[in-house]
Amino acid sequence: MNTKQTPLHAFHHAHNARMVPFAGWDMPVQYAAGIKAEHLATRQSAGLFDVSHMAQLEISGGRAAADLSTLTPSDIAGIGEGRLRYSLFLNDQGGVLDDLMIGRIGDLFYLVVNAGRADHDIAHLQKHLDASTNMAIRTDRALVALQGPQSANVLGMLGLRLDDFRFMQLRHFDFDGTELLISRSGYTGEDGFEIALPANVASEFCDACLSTGLVTLAGLGARDTLRMEAGLPLWGHELDETITPVEAGLGFAISKKRRDMADFPGANRINDQLKTGPKRRLVGLSASGARPVRDGVILRHNDRPVGSVTSGGFAPSLDRPAALGFVEAELATPGTSLLADTRGAPTPVTVSNLPFVQHQYFR
Amino acid sequence: MVKFSEDHEWVKLDGDIAEVGISPHAVEQLGDIVFIELPDIGTNVTKGDAVAVFESVKAASDIYSPAGGEIIDVNTALADDLGAITADDAMNNWLFKVKLTAPSDLDGLMDEDQYNAMID
């Protein structure tokens, strides 16, 4: 199988990245610093991640808003100029086909979808978009995420004027004569930015970030530990076609207007769950002891299986193991004690509130 | 003389006692180690048994016994001081000692040159 390379592939090699295949792409899982150090540097200063494997789509045309509405539970028409929303492609059972960001800039909708679902999402859109709606796939652009409390300072040092640029906004900026499309958003829980830029400028931009002395290169390993601490779902783990947004704690992504109209895929099931509560819920899990509790481990209460772990490992900011998982709704109360069927001996875990680490968004 | 297994364990033989650790390459590959579990003293093991676990941030890795016998000593100090598990100290950080029932179990292990060729 030929893995694809992002525009930063040579850059990664030059920076001693350890590369792994991910969703068909050759990606850095870590650099020399290692996952823990990259994670902590992101929360303490700033981390820089190549996320060019995610697909960037532009949808335009007179029916674009209507088309995107039919596929999501979002108020697409209500997305203002320069605004970004977290959204979901749903199936008729209310299950999540993918989670994505949808922003409006100029006369187009800008979508960023998961790398592992890009082929699916593109086919899904092609099948459902009106003949007059145009979709462009921006493979000419790289995408990098700059995340952490110093990230705004870093962009300032690069000459960008942020001028009241807030969380979930989307704007064009000039970097040395090149146009960047930047959102104040991310997947770490920290204040941060996601920067779309021409592929041939990506290395130069990353070098400029590094030259500020405030930025640490970070790979997919740290990306995963950061998002888990932030309680953010990963499609294929906390989300899939059999999981509804209500079960996954994503009720906020369902527009109230759309809920009242019940005019989105799976609306009946989702409205039912919103009314009476879902049968299972996504929770945080704190393990006693030092042994991580990993994906797929069954959770028990009084010997009965009551759920399972969907993401689990070590949380560097907490300096202890942490996990996400689904449990029966009655047991989803923080403080509930469960037993995880870990290899060897069972591990006691406690249901915890999410996020593990508080969000620091610049609102 | 130290020997190496395909699973990146090293073995130092002293009479019928085999001292076992993991190679510097293995330590580097594991990355940040967050937890280790070592076998209990007195456990009887067969060659190839998974006897210890190293948990790194991303994954759990089994450590296998390169020979059959009885676990007669375990480096518990290492379990309490994960920071001491470094690539530089890997050849000195023994994990467990096996009193061999069949020294021929160690036949077929690689010498250092063969191991270095394997990991290149």
Check B57 against A344: CB less than 8 A apart: no
Give the separation between CA B73 and CA A263, rounded to whole angstroms.
67
β-sheet bridge partners, residue A350: A286, A337
pLDDT in tens, B86-114: 999 999 999 999 999 999 999 999 999 99
Class of domain A1-277 as given by CATH:
alpha beta
Question: How many Cα atoms sit within 13 Å of B95 on the Cβ side?
Answer: 26
Residue B120: predicted pLDDT: 86
- pLDDT of A1 over the 60 cut: no
pLDDT in tens, A168-213: 999 999 999 999 999 999 999 999 999 999 999 999 999 999 999 9
Range of the structural domain that residue B75 is part of: 2-119
Neighbours of B37 (CB within 10 A): 17
Taking one residue from A and the other from B, the number of pairs with CB-CB distance under 8 angstroms is 41
Domain ranges of chain A: 1-277, 279-363
Output the CA angle A24-A50-A5, nearest 5 degrees: 35
Q: How many residues does chain B have?
A: 120
Of the listed ranges A37-41, A113-117, A331-335, B77-81, the one predicted with least confidence: B77-81
Phi, psi (rounded to 5 degrees) for A282: -80, 130
Residue A281: predicted pLDDT: 98
**By three-state DSSP, how is residue A156 classified?**
helix
State how far the alpha carbon of A310 is from the alpha carbons of A235, A243, A293, in Å.
10, 12, 10
Give the separation between CA B73 and CA B40, rounded to whole angstroms.
8
Which phi-psi region, left, alpha or beta, contains residue A294 (left: φ > 0; alpha: ψ -120 to 50)?
beta
* Residues on chain B bordering chain A, Cβ-to-Cβ distance under 8 angstroms: 31-32, 34-35, 37, 53, 55, 57-60
- Percent of chain A at pLDDT > 70 equals 100
Give the separation between CA A189 and CA A4, rounded to whole angstroms.
28
Specify whether the CB–CB gap between A111 and A152 falls below 8 A: no
pLDDT in tens, A58-76: 999 999 999 999 999 999 9
- pLDDT of B73 over the 60 cut: yes
Check A36 against B37: CB less than 8 A apart: no
Q: In chain A, which residues have their Cβ closer than 8 Å to the Cβ of B37?
A: 291, 344
pLDDT category of residue B16 using cuts at 50, 70 and 90: very high
β-sheet bridge partners, residue A96: A90
Cβ-based neighbours of A1, under 8 Å, separated by 6 or more:
A21, A24
β-sheet bridge partners, residue B102: none
Closest approach of chain A CAs to the CA of B57, in angstroms? 5
| Token pair listed for B21 | 């650790």
Phi, psi (rounded to 5 degrees) for A73: -95, 25
Looking at every residue in chain A, the average pLDDT score rounds to: 97
Check B31 against A225: CB less than 8 A apart: no
CA B30 from chain centre, in angstroms, equals 13
Tell me which architecture the domain covering A279-363 has in CATH: Beta Barrel (2.40)
Phi, psi (rounded to 5 degrees) for A149: -60, -25
Check A29 against B35: CB less than 8 A apart: no
Say which CATH number the domain at B46 has. Answer: 2.40.50.100
Range A30-37 average pLDDT: 96
Check B58 against A29: CB less than 8 A apart: yes
Look at chain B and report how many structural domains it folds into: 1
Neighbours of A62 (CB within 10 A): 11
Specify whether the CB–CB gap between A202 and A144 falls below 8 A: yes
Q: Please give the residue of chain B at the shortest CA–CA distance from A37.
A: B32
Which 3-state string (H, E, C) describes chain B? Answer: CEEECCCCEEEEEECCEEEEEECHHHHHHHCCEEEEECCCCCCEECCCCEEEEEEECCCEEEEECCCCEEEEEECHHHHCCHHHCCCCCCCCCCCEEEEECCHHHHCCCECHHHHHHHHC
Specify whether the CB–CB gap between A94 and A266 falls below 8 A: yes
**By three-state DSSP, how is residue A217 classified?**
strand
Specify whether the CB–CB gap between A181 and A221 falls below 8 A: no
Q: What is the ipTM of this complex?
A: 0.89
β-sheet bridge partners, residue A124: none
Residue A57: predicted pLDDT: 98
Closest approach of chain B CAs to the CA of A297, in angstroms? 13
Neighbours of A175 (CB within 10 A): 18
pLDDT in tens, A64-122: 999 999 999 999 999 999 999 999 999 999 999 999 999 999 999 999 999 999 999 99
pLDDT category of residue A23 using cuts at 50, 70 and 90: very high
Q: In chain B, which residues have their Cβ closer than 8 Å to the Cβ of A314?
A: 32, 34, 55, 57
Check B35 against A291: CB less than 8 A apart: yes
Check B32 against A314: CB less than 8 A apart: yes
Residue A232: predicted pLDDT: 98
Neighbours of B47 (CB within 10 A): 18
Alpha-helical segments (H) within A251-347: 256-261, 267-276
Chain B interface, best mutation among A29, A35, A293, A297, by max B CB count within 10 A:
A35
